[in-house]
Structure 1
Amino acid sequence: MVDVHRPRAAPSLPTDTVPHPPSLRPLTWLVLILLALVACRVLLSPSLSWDQNEQLVWSQALAWGYGPQPPLYTWLQWGVNAVLGPTVLSLAVVKHVLVGLTAWFMFLAARQIMATRTAWLAAFGLVWLPGIGWELLRDQTHTVMLNCAIAATWFVLLRQLRAPSPAGFGWLGLVMAWGVLSKYSYVLMAAAALLAALSLPAARRALLSRGWWLTPVIGLGLVTPHALWALAHWQSASASTLRKLQPPDTLSRLQGLLAGGGDLLVFSLLAALPWLLMARWAFGRAWRWRSVAPAAPAPGQPAEVQRLFTRYVAIVLAALLAMVLAGTSSFDGRWLQPLFLMLPLLALVARPTVAADPRGARRFLGASGALLALLWAVVMLNPVVDAWRGKDERMNWPVAAIGQTLRDAGFDGHGLVIAGHHTTGGIVRLAFPRAQVVVCDIDTRWTLDCVREAAARAHAQHMPLLQVLAEEPAPAPWWRAAWPGGAHPALQTRVLPYRWTDPARQGLCVEFMLAGPDGRAPSARANAAHPPQQQAVCIDHR
């Protein structure tokens, strides 16, 4: 007689829990997807969005810091530019290699605690995290590297908990320095992960074993030069982030708490719900079974890792809540979602039986591929849709026409360029790779000093000088600051048609002043194929 009240036994757990060389088939798919993404980005547009233009300007030279961001991404971009040149291809290669490495490190991290086939689910399921799936196809740079560094950190940390070694502590210090030099918000993730691990007896013994001191020595040694630069340039390194955390339009303490708490709640839910709902749909009843933790789990084993991840999430949420109580009234999803990058690992550790459900795995991977294709199509079609709507989309800027307009005016690509913002500066560098581009942002209060210093260098070295701004007109003092003597070249204005956009509906305003080595305006070239555009008046739409 069958006891109908006796609960059914959970499906048997996979025995494939010891790391071994992974199958090359999923890795091949990952490489093919990334190659397709790079090709589509190059074909999508010859123009760039904000972050990528910023990288073209910053990567002209190596430095210990660049404005409000750590320098590692720009160093990497500088190296690739040295091989491929400052092009759309070089920007796409850096970004998508980091995206691929993020998925690979996520697989390696998952492989420390679960079967190979389940570990691949963690890697490919990243597309369901809004901070990865959608944002990786948009204009992002430092956040992409941050995601990669966080995935690498979890891989190294979990491997070290499983089998501590002095070499492992060295690698942990290296990846932590990588994270800090990628984006400053990494510090919160690293601190929360270490605190969570040190709060568990078995993990604490592993982290304090022989050679532990290599982690802080290597990490601090690699980060110190940039830290000294950041202290010396504190205003430029911190002002932008502080403005975003505490917008000036917050009217009261209560409104600030509500706004900050609302952002925290929304972005925390977005970081987890899409992935969890998709996994619940894909695996159905198999998703209901939970793992049974032993009384004294060993370090690096699934039960211990589940406790580690749970405490990590609790520490991160407590720290973010403390920021809200301290006055932070605005969060950006790009800041928060990388902190929850390991949520798929937590869910899969808590539901290890899904590895025994091949049908669910196929549904999971199929849904992930379908979402990636959908997001891919949206990103590819977005510039075309904006063109039909007559919207001033930066991916539709006429890069070739801008370059030809400046050539026709007499600029041959050798000399110093003062651009009014990074978007213009990056586009000019695409068109003239040999030019020295300096960005003096018209929206910053020290922009006139920036213009004076850059122009003085050009005048002293008898270099051609081009002042240029696109999309919005610059105030008159910004133009005059480059010419302290009073006499200056004539301000020229062109309105160029966006790609695929009806010129009668919308045009790109380009303003510039151009002087040769002698300080005089060069002679304009006649060009039958590209006749000079008529002078126009640009309207400030801000």
Structure 2
Amino acid sequence: MDRDGGFVDLRERPGQGSRLANFLSGGLWPATLFLGVYFVASIATRLALPHSLTLDEAEQSLFSQYWLAGYGPQPPFYNWVQNAFVSIMGISLLALTLPKFVMLLLCYFFFGLAAREIDGRAGFVAMAMLSLLLLPQVSYMPQQDLTHTVAVLMATSLFFYGLFRTLARPDWMGYALLGLAIGIGTISKYNFVLLPAATVVAVFADREWRARLFDVRILLTAAISVTIIMPHALWLLGNLDLATKGTISKMVEANAPHGIARIARALGSLALACLAFGALALVVFAVAFKKQFRPALKMSTRWTRLLGIMMLVSLLGVVLVILLAGTTKITERWLDPYLLVLPLYLLVKFRGAGADIVASLKRFLPVFLTIMAITLIPLAAKTVTAGMTGSYTRINYPFTLVAETLKAEGQPSLIIAGGTHLGGNMRLRFPGTPVVDPGRPIAGFPPLDSLKSPILVIWPINSDTVQQPPFALPPEVSALGLTASPVQSLSFPHEYGDGRTGLKLGYLWLR
């Protein structure tokens, strides 16, 4: 037994039950394989839908044309990974989909490694990994349209693995993993930085673990994290307004009250976000382990104290942001780094109260399978039934017909597209052609040898009257002195639509 009363026999044999439950009770690798099949199904579901892009997919498509130290309000780690996939595979929906689900699988895998440092029983590790399905921010939302958030989920799981390994059996590898996770997490989402700060407080509170903070090997943690962060940090110094204005605007509601009323609204938003993030996991565990529920509330071990302090201090950091930044709205995904460990925290609490976590895997399996099935349905169902419901997603946009029509008129050397979503879809449909969004210009892009006739200028229109493009042409293009064709329009019905509602675009050619 470990010091907290948990068994650590890695040779535990699966009990009687379903074949799948017995297979999963093998621990880390069987659970990883099982989740890998689930994510293959997720990828197949997305590829079976029309290949028009969601907003985040379109942004990644557009930005995959160039490597930068920073791209705007979001840190660049996910962009770099995405660009690596596109560099190898070429631009395609598969190349835009793979990084997200690879990172999600790694999130579950690293979480399993972290859980194994606390309780080495194979069944406990599998339960911990699958319990992440109880968090909608991990199971449901990534199936819709997330990118940078998925990267921070992966980094957070890696951070907990490095932390637990360093606390349980400190070695150079543990400190190196911490540095890697801190570096990746910081350039995935800026709010990640509260997690290592809260960890310092939590570790310092334990008399024995406190020595880990003063171990010389922590310099390796610092060196690795700084090396990873530095390129973006240097960019950030000169682009602070660009990097922060988008995030701040999302956190402040229009016509928000001031003073105490604003703070009260923000704190209420934080409380609701915490509830939305963890309520399902708490309710499922409370129902499943109802006899141990009250004892679990009082149960405390070194691990639960550590995790409890980390979550509490992180949320206090969010409160500090509310007070200093004028925030009025907190969403669940901003809590990902701080509350991702909640299922593991609950499992350790219930384990300490006498619940048989390993034997419960079979009972929990129908819940996990139901969640996995449900998360695959909404996006596909909403897309396919859009004509009946009148609720269209961006995946319904008929960009296949748009591209076929434009290609019949000519092959552009450059595309100037109004908006990131349109630009990303044009990039997917014209893979060899540079695409520019005038609203998000990039210095030095496109290359000068692409600035030649013909150039396609295209933009969305919301009325029957087709007017000139609602943006100025890049000065490099204007300097070419090309002649603009008359403005034309395209209108096609949405895929899976009612035949009446559709996409309208204005365009012209510069020759």
TM-score by length of 2: 0.88
Give, in angstroms, the shift of residue 42 of structure 1.
0.8
Secondary structure at the residue paired with 1:30?
helix
Give, in angstroms, the shift of residue 314 of structure 1.
1.5
Cα-Cα RMSD: 2.7
2:133–2:139 Cα contact (<8 Å) kept: yes
| Structure 2 residue aligned with 1:360 | 360
Give me the whole-angstrom Cα distance separating, in 2, the residues matched to 1:95 and 1:147: 11
| Structure 2 residue aligned with 1:15 | 7
| Structure 2 residue aligned with 1:296 | none
Structure 2 unaligned runs (5+)?
13-25
Alignment match of 1:108 (pick from 108, 113, 118): 113
Give, in angstroms, the shift of residue 500 of structure 1.
1.3
| Structure 2 residue aligned with 1:494 | 490
Alignment match of 1:469 (pick from 443, 451, 459): 459
1:427 counterpart = 2:425: yes
Give me the whole-angstrom Cα distance separating, in 2, the residues matched to 1:186 and 1:409: 48
Q: What are the equivalent positions in structure 2 for 1:105-254 lying under 5 Å apart?
A: 105-114=110-119, 115-254=121-260
| Structure 1 residue aligned with 2:336 | 337
Q: Deviations over 1:394-422 (max 9, x none)?
A: 01111210111211232x1x422111111
Give me the whole-angstrom Cα distance separating, in 2, the residues matched to 1:317 and 1:479: 42
Q: What are the equivalent positions in structure 2 for 1:388-407 lying under 5 Å apart?
A: 388-407=388-407
Q: Residues 458, 390 of structure 1: CA spacing in aligned structure 2 closer, same or farther, 3 A cutoff? A: farther
Alignment match of 1:48 (pick from 44, 53, 61): 53
1:272 counterpart = 2:278: yes
Give, in angstroms, the shift of residue 146 of structure 1.
0.4
Give me the whole-angstrom Cα distance separating, in 1, the residues matched to 2:461 and 2:9: 56
AA partner of residue 470 (structure 1):
P
Secondary structure at the residue paired with 2:218?
coil
Give, in angstroms, the shift of residue 219 of structure 1.
0.9
More off after superposition, 247-256 vs 417-426? 247-256
Larger Rg: 1
2:167–2:212 Cα contact (<8 Å) kept: yes
Q: Deviations over 1:280-339 (max 9, x none)?
A: 22233245543997xxxxxxxx92221111111111121122222332111122212342
Structure 1 unaligned runs (5+)?
1-11, 294-301, 442-446, 521-542
Secondary structure at the residue paired with 2:145?
coil
1:32 counterpart = 2:32: no
| Structure 2 residue aligned with 1:511 | 506
Secondary structure at the residue paired with 1:478?
coil
Q: Residues 250, 91 of structure 1: CA spacing in aligned structure 2 closer, same or farther, 3 A cutoff? A: same
Q: Residues 23, 226 of structure 1: CA spacing in aligned structure 2 closer, same or farther, 3 A cutoff? A: closer
Give me the whole-angstrom Cα distance separating, in 2, the residues matched to 1:270 and 1:122: 20
Secondary structure at the residue paired with 1:69?
coil
Give me the whole-angstrom Cα distance separating, in 1, the residues matched to 2:113 and 2:253: 40
1:196–1:312 Cα contact (<8 Å) kept: yes
Give, in angstroms, the shift of residue 170 of structure 1.
2.0
1:81 counterpart = 2:86: yes
2:460–2:505 Cα contact (<8 Å) kept: yes
AA partner of residue 405 (structure 2):
T
Q: What are the equivalent positions in structure 2 for 1:281-430 lying under 5 Å apart?
A: 281-290=287-296, 303-326=301-324, 327-352=326-351, 356=356, 360-410=360-410, 412=411, 414-430=412-428
Give, in angstroms, the shift of residue 463 of structure 1.
4.4
AA partner of residue 322 (structure 1):
L
Give me the whole-angstrom Cα distance separating, in 2, the residues matched to 1:23 and 1:75: 28
Give me the whole-angstrom Cα distance separating, in 2, the residues matched to 1:433 and 1:409: 17
More off after superposition, 322-331 vs 95-104? 322-331
AA partner of residue 470 (structure 2):
W
AA partner of residue 160 (structure 2):
W
Give me the whole-angstrom Cα distance separating, in 1, the residues matched to 2:55 and 2:5: 48
Q: Residues 129, 460 of structure 1: CA spacing in aligned structure 2 closer, same or farther, 3 A cutoff? A: closer
Alignment match of 2:437 (pick from 426, 439, 442): 439
Give, in angstroms, the shift of residue 356 of structure 1.
2.5
AA partner of residue 431 (structure 2):
P
Give me the whole-angstrom Cα distance separating, in 2, the residues matched to 1:460 and 1:43: 34
2:292–2:355 Cα contact (<8 Å) kept: no
AA partner of residue 375 (structure 2):
L
TM-score by length of 1: 0.83
Give, in angstroms, the shift of residue 453 of structure 1.
8.9
Give me the whole-angstrom Cα distance separating, in 2, the residues matched to 1:131 and 1:340: 10
Q: Residues 181, 471 of structure 1: CA spacing in aligned structure 2 closer, same or farther, 3 A cutoff? A: farther
**Quick one: percent identity of the two aligned structures?**
27
Secondary structure at the residue paired with 1:239?
helix
Give me the whole-angstrom Cα distance separating, in 2, the residues matched to 1:17 and 1:310: 26
Q: Residues 14, 224 of structure 1: CA spacing in aligned structure 2 closer, same or farther, 3 A cutoff? A: closer
2:289–2:350 Cα contact (<8 Å) kept: no
* Off by >6 Å, runs of 4+ in structure 1: 18-21, 451-455, 457-460
Secondary structure at the residue paired with 1:138?
helix
| Structure 2 residue aligned with 1:527 | none
Q: Deviations over 1:337-395 (max 9, x none)?
A: 34200011111111115662555322222202102211212222011222322334201
Alignment match of 1:260 (pick from 266, 291, 316): 266
1:467–1:513 Cα contact (<8 Å) kept: yes
Give, in angstroms, the shift of residue 144 of structure 1.
0.4
| Structure 1 residue aligned with 2:65 | 60
Secondary structure at the residue paired with 2:503?
strand
Give, in angstroms, the shift of residue 477 of structure 1.
6.4
More off after superposition, 115-124 vs 58-67? 115-124
Secondary structure at the residue paired with 1:356?
coil
Give, in angstroms, the shift of residue 25 of structure 1.
2.8
Secondary structure at the residue paired with 1:182?
coil
Q: Residues 435, 74 of structure 1: CA spacing in aligned structure 2 closer, same or farther, 3 A cutoff? A: same
Give me the whole-angstrom Cα distance separating, in 2, the residues matched to 1:370 and 1:157: 32
1:417–1:435 Cα contact (<8 Å) kept: yes
Q: Residues 329, 249 of structure 1: CA spacing in aligned structure 2 closer, same or farther, 3 A cutoff? A: same
Q: Residues 22, 375 of structure 1: CA spacing in aligned structure 2 closer, same or farther, 3 A cutoff? A: closer
AA partner of residue 309 (structure 1):
L
Give, in angstroms, the shift of residue 56 of structure 1.
0.6
AA partner of residue 465 (structure 1):
I
AA partner of residue 171 (structure 2):
S
2:127–2:358 Cα contact (<8 Å) kept: no
Q: Residues 138, 253 of structure 1: CA spacing in aligned structure 2 closer, same or farther, 3 A cutoff? A: same
